[in-house]
Amino acid sequence: MPRKAIIVGGGIGGLATAVHLQTSGWDVEVRERAPAPPGTGTSVGLWPAALRALDELGVGRAARERARPAARGTFLRSDGRLIGNVDFAGLRRRTGDTVHVIARPALFETLTAVLDDGVVRYGQDVPDVRALAESTDCDVVIAADGLRSRARTALFGDAYGPRYSGVTAWHGTVDLDTEAICETWGQGARFGVTPRAGGHTNWFACAPALERVPVPGGDLAALQRRFGTWHPGVRRILDRLAEGGCPGISRNDLYDLAQPLPSYVSGRVALIGDAAHAMTPDLGRGACEALIDAVTLAGELTARPRVEDALTAYDTARRRPTQRLARAARLMNRAVHTRRPLAPVRNAAMRLFLTVGRPPA
């Protein structure tokens, strides 16, 4: 009789775990609170380690076909002068791959396409994973319910809930073409673009703001006030938004966890992705780490006869590295959004890192 897993949350990490376990012969059920899969959304960057995870799931080629490889990675000052370049050529030499950018809905579709009908059940709310684990005949419950994880709260309490970073992010898509990932850093703010399949560009803008407080004059006016004097590459996107020919502007405040979890496991419940280690998006690793969590956890569950041993191995493998990344992302968030007189020091530090360091694969 196959072993059974219930996965709470049908995001990237939850779907990836389901794919791996189903392939390994498990009976899998994904319960997702949303009524349907996402039809819109910006893109995620897939670094080589995340692409290897997708390869292990058997969907790496399909994901690459729907993604767009980034030709270059660049950091600029607000006046357009160069801070430094990301060594994508060195990354390819080390790993055999580069960063691919894929629309979030396309990644969802790539993962769900290989799952059996009925595995993902939308409109299914799970208010208490502890009760679920105790009342069902499943072998393991995997909580992949995101930043505001109720599973995390039920298992570890409110002390490990989301913490506002002090920074908000606007984002969207414009029908302009780009081949490169580019971030522009100014005084206390930044603006970024990434390529998207179909000749489009994803953009994002981050700046300090009060949590959940609407900005005076609306989001477009706020973007124009903050970024309207920056270099032409930024102004071109703002002009396109002002023309009204693009989808709407989305805004999300940025959060991480108030403090790192003491474990990613409690009893027969394991947490993955943002439920375990929500981080600000400053390193562009959130979706990547969720995929790696999924493959690691499912691999341990498949390889070990005892679920308890598999969960312990997963926690040992993933907790420290992901918490280090979350801490690094928090420090990057604070450094990027610093104001004078520290911005020149920040830029010099990044220039040095890009010259002598290397990006995590």
pLDDT tens column, 187-219: 999 999 999 988 889 999 999 999 999 988 999
Angle, helix 48-57 to helix 88-95, in steps of 10 degrees: 40
pLDDT at 247: 73
By the 10 Å C-beta count (0-12 exposed, 13-18 middle, 19+ buried), 259 is classed as exposed
Residue 340 predicted with pLDDT over 70: no
Task: Give the domain extent around 262.
Answer: 4-162+256-356
> Is position 40 within any domain?
yes
> Is position 158 within any domain?
yes
- Look at residue 349 and give its three-state secondary structure: helix
Average pLDDT over residues 19-35: 97
**Which pLDDT band, with edges at 50, 70 and 90, does 42 fall under?**
confident
Q: Which residue has the tokens 């006016």?
A: 221
> Is position 269 within any domain?
yes
> Is position 292 within any domain?
yes
pLDDT at 343: 81
Check which CATH number belongs to the domain holding 139 and give it. 3.50.50.60
Please give the sequence-ordered ranges of beta strands (E in DSSP) within 150-248, or none if there are none: 162-174, 180-185, 190-196, 200-208
Average pLDDT over residues 31-38: 93
> Is position 190 within any domain?
no
Rounded distance between C-alpha atoms, residue 194 and residue 331, angstroms? 22
pLDDT at 307: 97
**Between residues 162 and 338, the one the model is more confident about:** 162
**Which pLDDT band, with edges at 50, 70 and 90, does 245 fall under?**
low
pLDDT at 355: 79
Average pLDDT over residues 228-255: 92
Mean pLDDT of all residues belonging to the chain: 94
pLDDT at 300: 98
> Is position 196 within any domain?
no
pLDDT at 342: 73
Residue pair 108/38 in contact by the 8 Å Cβ criterion: yes
pLDDT at 38: 87
Query: Which residues, at least 6 apart from 272, have a Cβ–Cβ distance to it below 8 Å?
Result: 13, 14, 17, 142, 143, 144, 264, 290, 293, 294, 297
Average pLDDT over residues 278-294: 96
- Look at residue 74 and give its three-state secondary structure: strand
Average pLDDT over residues 228-232: 98
**211 phi and psi, to 5 degrees?**
-65, 125
Percentage, residues of the chain above pLDDT 70:
98
Range of weakest confidence among 240-254, 256-270, 310-324, 335-349: 335-349
Stated pTM of the model = 0.95
- Look at residue 95 and give its three-state secondary structure: helix
**167 phi and psi, to 5 degrees?**
-125, 140
The amino acid at residue 282 is D
Q: What is the total count of domains within the chain?
A: 1
Q: Which tens digits make up the pLDDT trace of 92-145?
A: 999 999 999 999 999 999 999 999 999 999 999 998 898 898 877 899 999 999
> Is position 175 within any domain?
no
Residue pair 322/47 in contact by the 8 Å Cβ criterion: no
Rounded distance between C-alpha atoms, residue 309 and residue 307, angstroms? 5
Residue pair 238/205 in contact by the 8 Å Cβ criterion: no
Tokens of 329: 């992302």
> Is position 176 within any domain?
no
Nearest CA to 5 among 19, 23, 16, 18? Answer: 18
- Look at residue 214 and give its three-state secondary structure: coil
| Residue 349 vs residues 83, 88, 93, 325, 333: alpha-carbon distances, Å | 10, 19, 25, 18, 14
Task: Classify strands 140-143 and 269-271 as parallel, antiparallel or unpaired.
Answer: parallel
Nearest CA to 267 among 304, 303, 300, 315? Answer: 315
pLDDT at 344: 84
pLDDT at 357: 67
Range of weakest confidence among 10-14, 18-22, 198-202: 198-202
